[in-house]
Structure 1
Amino acid sequence: MSLKNKIAVVTGAGSGMGLATVKAFLREGATVYALDISEDNLNQELKAEPHAHLIALDISNSAAVNEAFSRIANEQGKIHALINAAGVNTPNRRATEWLDNINHSMLDAMKNGQPYHPEFLSEIPDEDFDRVMQINVNGTFYAIRAAAPLLKAADGGAIVNFASVAGLVGLPMPAYYPASKAAIVGMTRSISGELAPFNIRVNALAPAGINTALLTQSGEDHVQALLSMQPLKRLAEPEEIAETLVFLASDAGAHYTGQILSPSGGAYLA
């Protein structure tokens, strides 16, 4: 599944699954443009990689995304893969702490056999909902729109978006996250049809629990609660997810398009 001489763009490249994907693509011989909001993370993790080109930007800023892809167009003229790994679970630290408190209260109630009915709707301000949608949905759209001409210039390639099992099944959580990930599912399927005549494949991954700091920061009880909902009782490693992305971006994945693959340990069974 070599990616030798391929040019790839990975968003959310400074940590988690995005970073693991960059490293896997580099190992397979690709030149990778690594995009992330954190310049510090990019430099710390990837500055020493000679075939990694680092671009710090806010993926929800349309002008910044267009500028980044204009640079790539000038330097390369084409790309062969776009991996849209940039995304957030919550819009800010305040919302993260609020959600952690709810999750811990829910787990305590479950342990004691007591009912617990979290209230999310009344507590989500407009700006929190908008921010998650801007990053997860708008940012993915901006990147695809900017990448499409460069993929066409390569006579085809692959786009992989990050959805989530939360966008496929009903789970109690703040509505902005499952709404954004369900939107990714619809966007993936629609754009796959539009770009198929150009030999551009568009798929999405809908993972469940992944062993990243974003998930494990909530504590072991929260992790175990998530694992209780899936047959395989462990978190997936970011490197495992990256191997799926290598496959989808390579010639080995040439007949996959419009698909939603769910590396979820069986939490989602289509």
Structure 2
Amino acid sequence: MELDGRIAVVTGAASGMGLAAVKALAGAGATVYGMDLRQEDLDREFAGLERVRGHAADVSDSAAVNRVFDRVREDHGRLHVLVNAAGVATPNRAKQAWVDGINHRMTESFKSGEPYHPEFLDGISDEDFDRVVAINLNGTFYTIRAAVPLLKQSGSGSIINFASVAGLIGLPMPAYYPASKAAVVGLTKAVAAELAPFGIRVNALAPAGIRTAMLTASGDDHVQALLSLQPLKRLAEPDEIGRTVLFLASDAAGHYTGQTLAPSGGALML
């Protein structure tokens, strides 16, 4: 699966699955523009990588997103691949700690056999909900909108959006995350239908347990809760997801569009 001469943009590029996607695409010969919040993180992670350029931008800021794509237009005048890997599970660290505490109590209740019914709704502010949606959904829309003129210039292309298995099955968790990820699936289908006449394919990935810093920072309770949903009792490695991104970006996936692939260890079986 060679991508020699192709141009790609990856969001959430400085860590986890986004970084794995950058490495997979660049390893196949693509020139990759990686976006993340902090330039120092991009510079550190991209050191030694060929054909990879880092640009700090918040995907929830449409003007910042447009500036990165303006740079791609100035440098190349075209684009072949867009990977939307930027995303958050909670709006901030304080809320992550709140969620982790509830997950811990759920795990302990399972072990003891005592009933425990988590309640999240009353703890979600307007600002919490808006912030997660702004990154996970709005940011995906902003990058797609900015990328499409460049993809059309190429005459074909591939967009890969990161959803989540949480957006496809019912799980007790703060509603902003599954709501935003389910919306990414709907966005993927609508855009796939619109862009098919231009040879641009649009697909989504809906992972479950992936060994990323965002997941493992939540503690072993959260990891074990995820694994309890999966017939395959292990976390996937980010580079496994990177190889799936490479497949969807390549000509080998030429007849895939509007699809949601779930590398979920069997948590979702269609």
Show the counterpart of 2:213: 213
Q: Could you tell me how far apart the structure 1 residues matched to 2:135 and 2:222 are?
A: 25
Show the counterpart of 1:9: 9
Q: Is the aligned partner of 1:143 residue 2:155? A: no
State percent identity of aligned pairs: 64
TM-score, normalising length from structure 2?
A: 0.99
What amino acid sits opposite 1:27 in the alignment?
G
How many equivalent residue pairs? 270
Show the counterpart of 1:177: 177
* RMSD, aligned CA: 0.8
Q: Could you tell me how far apart the structure 2 residues matched to 1:128 and 1:47 are?
A: 34
Q: Could you tell me how far apart the structure 1 residues matched to 2:40 and 2:103 are?
A: 30
- Give the match's secondary structure for 1:159: strand
What amino acid sits opposite 1:209 in the alignment?
G
TM-score, normalising length from structure 1?
A: 0.99
Show the counterpart of 2:37: 37
- How far did 1:248 drift? 0.5
Mapping 1:117-132, distance limit 5 Å: 117-132=117-132
Give 5+ residue unaligned stretches, structure 2.
none
Deviations 1:152-186 (A, max 9, x none): 00001000000000000100000000000000000
Show the counterpart of 1:79: 79
Deviations 1:35-91 (A, max 9, x none): 011212101110332411110010000110111111110111001000000000001
Structure 1 residue ranges, 4+ long, deviating more than 6 angstroms after superposition: none
What amino acid sits opposite 1:38 in the alignment?
R
Show the counterpart of 1:19: 19
Q: Could you tell me how far apart the structure 1 residues matched to 2:39 and 2:105 are?
A: 36
Q: Could you tell me how far apart the structure 2 residues matched to 1:184 and 1:214 are?
A: 19
Q: Could you tell me how far apart the structure 2 residues matched to 1:20 and 1:46 are?
A: 11
Q: Could you tell me how far apart the structure 1 residues matched to 2:222 and 2:120 are?
A: 18
Deviations 1:205-260 (A, max 9, x none): 00000001111112223212211111101011000001011011011111100000
Q: Is the aligned partner of 1:253 residue 2:253? A: yes
Q: Is the 8 A contact 2:100 2:219 kept in 1?
A: no
What amino acid sits opposite 1:61 in the alignment?
D
Mapping 1:61-140, distance limit 5 Å: 61-140=61-140
What amino acid sits opposite 2:126 in the alignment?
D
